[in-house]
Structure 1
Amino acid sequence: MEWEIFSGYLYNSNGIYLNYNIVSGMLFSIKKITEVVNIEQKFSKSDSSTRLFFRTAGHDN
């Protein structure tokens, strides 16, 4: 399941969101996530985004 960070929240395709804190590119505090698989960040003049790949409770894949 892939989530993207927008303005202090994580949204998935179903519109579910979770609060988050990012400190120096590290995931600092987030609820309902059991395992962070990968974090991808890109920063440019026109786009700064963070993609987060993780597993949640109740989902095996």
Structure 2
Amino acid sequence: MPLGLAQAARRLGVRRVDFDQVVRLGWLSPVGSVEVDYKRQGGMTTVPLYDCAEAR
């Protein structure tokens, strides 16, 4: 099951900032992405998805 950034960080038991650092270092990479339309906050945004089997 693919997870978003905050969900993957929570599953690993780390802060979101730490998870962002792990992604920046290339230790984890997204397995896909989904486009979300935030109509009130400015339109389409691409959200990377991470494999929950990898985020353990």
* TM-score bracket for the superposition, by shorter chain length: 0.3 to 0.5
Q: Which has the higher contact order (CA 8 A, sep 6+)?
A: 2
TM-score scaled by length of structure 2:
0.37
Kindly indicate which of the two structures has a greater share of residues assigned to helix.
Answer: 2
TM-score scaled by length of structure 1:
0.36
